[in-house]
Structure 1
Amino acid sequence: MSAIKGISRRSVLKGASAAAAGLAMPMVWTGNRAFGAERITVSDVGGAVGDAIKQAFYLPFEQETGIQVVGVAHDPDPVTQFKLLVDAKSYIWDVAMVTQDHVVRLTTPDNYLEPLNVPAEEAADLLPGMLTDDWMGFSVFGIVMAYRTDTMSEHPPTGWRDYWDSAAFPGRRGLYKSPWGVLEMALIADGVSPKALYPLDVDRAFAKLDEIRPDVAVWWGSGAQNTQTLQNGEVDLSDTWTSRASTAIASGAPVKIVWDGLYSVDGWSIPAGTPRADLAREFVRFCMRPEQQAIYASLSKNGPSNTRAFEHISPEHAAVMPTAKENFQRLGELDSAWWGENYDAMAERFQEWLLLG
């Protein structure tokens, strides 16, 4: 079973502020292009993040090893898909992008993950908690708010209390069609400190959601949709994942991030039993390299897990990532263990709430 541990605030800030003593040396690579006829399929979250992953990991890995990487997008919550492909032994994925709470659900009560078999010495530069037996975290992201400056510049929201105050802050609102992160935002809006959220007071959170429900214009279901609604002005303010809001900003949309919320981490896991597990492990190890993580972080605006990646990231790019000190100090840690144990029950209750009111 996976030993999931929280990623501490101190460890992430330490990585983000690591001083560059010189250019990072690449990890020793023992593979060769003898695998040239081989291919692996990697599932990720798609959209702009998927494009960043392709540029930082898929294409360079294929160029170096000859192993073709086919990238496919999966659902925002890929756990059911993951379990089905392992149970059916139809390995349409060899690696999947998952969060720590996904890992809990994929290892309890039954294990669906292959061990990564990464030697400890290769993980020396990773932040504490970013590598377990069956998961390697590489992308620190924020669960925050964003708003359109063209419609809300005179009286902009500064936190989740303002999001819930539709009288003082009128505008079309977007909200994620999932309890994950949304229950926490409701409690923060109700005055709960991000450091005192868990275990979640679920009844209190749903009562708070009752208040804002009539003002939600768009219930978004994917990161790509979230970006699109911010870009085209379908909403004036919305909850968001930092890379999705950054994509809207990069496109020229008048969007600003409000650093009030939580942080979590995306990483790689391998489906148990895939016949291409060894190739998948080589890919995961490749993604630990600081220079590759720096490319991904600079493109996606998510923070890296390898502390030496910051040696390759410009100060301007580092400043807009969740791991920047001034941003990170306003983010609490999403409790992956709590969500791993409670996601199914919360998802069922949330869907009933959406349908029945």
Structure 2
Amino acid sequence: MKKSFKLKSLAVTAAVASVMSVTTASFADELRIVSWGGAYQKGQSVGIFQPAAKAMGITVKEDTYGGISDVKLMVKSGADKFDIFSSGAGGCASGGTEGILEKLDYSVIDVSNHLPGMYSDYCAGADIFSVVAAWNTDTYGDNGPRSWADFFDVEKFPGTRAMRAKVDAQLEAALLADGVAMEDIYTVLDSEEGIDRALDKIRSIKDHIAVWWTSGAQHAQLMKDGEVDMTTGWNGRFDVAKLDGAKVAYDWKSGIMDWEGYGIPKNAKNKDLAMKYIAEMMKPEYMAEFAKYITYGPTNTKVYELGLMEDSRARQMPSHPDNAKHQLTLKTAWYAKWRTIAAEKYTEMMTE
């Protein structure tokens, strides 16, 4: 009787161990990644996220989020909602400064073929986009605002505007409109006085700003619906909206070139697998495939060197030399130093 009971106990223990083993293995082979939704994340999913997961033999579950503030909230609360996030360079820079991100292991992640400055200690660059001043062609035809000075000129270009509800690239646009030379933008912004100067420039047109947008999907929809006459926003979102019938145009001369990449929250349980997955996503084949869905250029130069993208498509990318030469490149070091202060001041300006 005792022997029978012992055998049954062993069987139960083995069964539990087996279930735990399967559960642990399943968890170890699964990652959760968050991004911005809309056309952008659709391109990421089809071009990068799922093909990279398949190549590694793992499961990747996707969701959307609201930016670096969501990462901060998760880390500070001890929650466990995602393993990897997609973020603009500025957000990653401030997150690294605040100590809420894991430092990336570049012995695992190969960025040797990346364009200069398109990765940081806390974020591996994946694509390059531009913040531009887009206009409604029903309102202005082909003669819309081709510079930030035009965007801020309410007499020459009367009409409603929209600007982003977050500070990223908005202060740079304001200073360019205020006559600051491209090479001097971050020198001027390297003080509270410079930040205030940019905010005052935005205040000068605040009565004409009808919407403070919070997502790429929103600013694209604003142009599709004709709700505003012009808006700041991301070039690729406007290109997708135009294909969908939006009356929208922009000029690269208003471009502020930025990059998006992948980071890992501090104390992420699947940190090691997340590093390997980011390494896989850095391969040029994925970046070239992603660029078929939205006009955001690759950070890996091999895409161009290996001819993985047709020339006609390459010329639609922000990072193509003919387009990049007109643009300011966002400086991540400034965001690491000033983003928190600038963001607080920017929010106060919006709500005052």
Q: TM range, normalised to the smaller chain?
A: 0.7 to 0.9
Q: Verify: 1:206 aligned to 2:199, yes or no.
A: yes
Question: 2:119–2:261: 8 Å Cα contact kept in structure 1?
Answer: no
Shift of residue 131, structure 1, vs aligned partner: 3.9
1:32-71 Cα offsets, whole Å, 9 max, x none, are xxx7762111011211111010011122123223311111
User: For residue 82 of structure 2, what is the aligned residue in structure 1?
Assistant: 93
User: For residue 3 of structure 2, what is the aligned residue in structure 1?
Assistant: none
Shift of residue 120, structure 1, vs aligned partner: 7.3
Unmatched tracts of structure 1, length 5 or more: 1-34
TM-score (norm 1): 0.84
User: For residue 29 of structure 1, what is the aligned residue in structure 2?
Assistant: none
Q: Which one-letter code corresponds to 1:196 in the other structure?
A: D
Q: Which one-letter code corresponds to 1:88 in the other structure?
A: S
Looking at structure 2, the residues matched to 86 and 206 of structure 1 have their Cα atoms a distance apart, in angstroms, of: 31
1:152-189 Cα offsets, whole Å, 9 max, x none, are 11632221111122222122211112222111111111
Q: Verify: 1:349 aligned to 2:345, yes or no.
A: yes
Alpha carbons of 1:298 and 1:154: their partners in 2 closer, same or farther (altered >3 Å)?
closer
Alpha carbons of 1:245 and 1:87: their partners in 2 closer, same or farther (altered >3 Å)?
same
Secondary structure, counterpart of 1:142 in structure 2: strand
Q: 176, 190, 198: which one pairs with 2:178?
A: 190
Looking at structure 1, the residues matched to 346 and 109 of structure 2 have their Cα atoms a distance apart, in angstroms, of: 43
Secondary structure, counterpart of 1:346 in structure 2: helix
Question: 1:173–1:237: 8 Å Cα contact kept in structure 2?
Answer: yes
Judge which range, 236-245 or 346-355, deviates more: 346-355
Q: Which one-letter code corresponds to 2:70 in the other structure?
A: Q
Q: Where do 1:260-339 residues align within 5 Å? A: 260-310=254-304, 311-339=307-335
Question: 2:31–2:83: 8 Å Cα contact kept in structure 1?
Answer: yes
Q: Verify: 1:123 aligned to 2:119, yes or no.
A: no
User: For residue 228 of structure 2, what is the aligned residue in structure 1?
Assistant: 235
User: For residue 22 of structure 2, what is the aligned residue in structure 1?
Assistant: none
Q: Which one-letter code corresponds to 1:223 in the other structure?
A: G
Alpha carbons of 1:137 and 1:159: their partners in 2 closer, same or farther (altered >3 Å)?
same
Shift of residue 278, structure 1, vs aligned partner: 2.1
Question: 1:137–1:265: 8 Å Cα contact kept in structure 2?
Answer: yes
Looking at structure 1, the residues matched to 145 and 89 of structure 2 have their Cα atoms a distance apart, in angstroms, of: 30
Shift of residue 285, structure 1, vs aligned partner: 0.9
Judge which range, 80-89 or 310-319, deviates more: 80-89
Q: Which one-letter code corresponds to 2:260 in the other structure?
A: D
Question: 1:141–1:241: 8 Å Cα contact kept in structure 2?
Answer: yes
Q: Which one-letter code corresponds to 2:56 in the other structure?
A: T
User: For residue 168 of structure 2, what is the aligned residue in structure 1?
Assistant: 180
Identity of aligned residues (%): 30
Question: 2:133–2:145: 8 Å Cα contact kept in structure 1?
Answer: no
TM-score (norm 2): 0.85
Alpha carbons of 1:147 and 1:294: their partners in 2 closer, same or farther (altered >3 Å)?
same
Unmatched tracts of structure 2, length 5 or more: 1-24
Which of the two has greater helix per residue? 2
Cα RMSD for the two superposed structures: 2.1
**Bigger-Rg structure (1/2):** 2
Shift of residue 140, structure 1, vs aligned partner: 0.8
Question: 2:128–2:260: 8 Å Cα contact kept in structure 1?
Answer: yes
Q: Verify: 1:102 aligned to 2:91, yes or no.
A: yes
Alpha carbons of 1:158 and 1:128: their partners in 2 closer, same or farther (altered >3 Å)?
closer
